[in-house]
Amino acid sequence: MIFLSIMHHYLAWHYTRAYAEIFHVWLNLMWFTINFFSIPQLMGSWFSPWKRMIEKREEGAIDFESIASVVVVGILSRLIGFVMRSIIIGVGCIVLLLVVIGGFLTYLFWIAAPLILIGLIGFGITLIAL
């Protein structure tokens, strides 16, 4: 009799409250992934120079070599920053996609887990009986 009471409470928890708890954990994992890869911050500074590496122009007379050096270093630094941020954002989006897929798979497993357990117990009993 106590076994049936325990099973009733477990199944009631498994199919009601546990869904909300799993969803909360899933949201936390998505939040963590977004903030771990700093996706919003990187998208906001996508075209900024990498590590703020810029060349300052020398004050004084107009020197075309100095101006060209500033422009080339600025363009290269922004290009490197764009490529590096794009790679990090891409990896972050892939990991976020894996977290979303993993959440759906967790829900599917959670729905089927008691049925799988009952099936495995029945299969074990048939193996013992044979």
Q: What is the pLDDT of residues 60-95, one digit of tens each?
A: 657 777 777 778 888 888 888 899 999 999 999 999
The pTM of the whole model exceeds 0.85: no
Q: Which residues of the chain have a pLDDT value below 70?
A: 51-61
Sequence spans of domains, the chain: 2-129
Instruction: Give the separation between CA 103 and CA 91, rounded to whole angstroms.
Output: 18
Residue whose pair of structure tokens reads 């810029």 in the numeric block: 54
Can you give the pLDDT at residue 93?
Answer: 96
CA distances from 81 to 36, 49, 51, 75 (A): 18, 5, 8, 10
The neighbour count for residue 38, using CB atoms within 10 Å, is 15
Can you give the pLDDT at residue 105?
Answer: 96
* H or E, element range at 113: helix 64-129
Can you give the pLDDT at residue 61?
Answer: 59
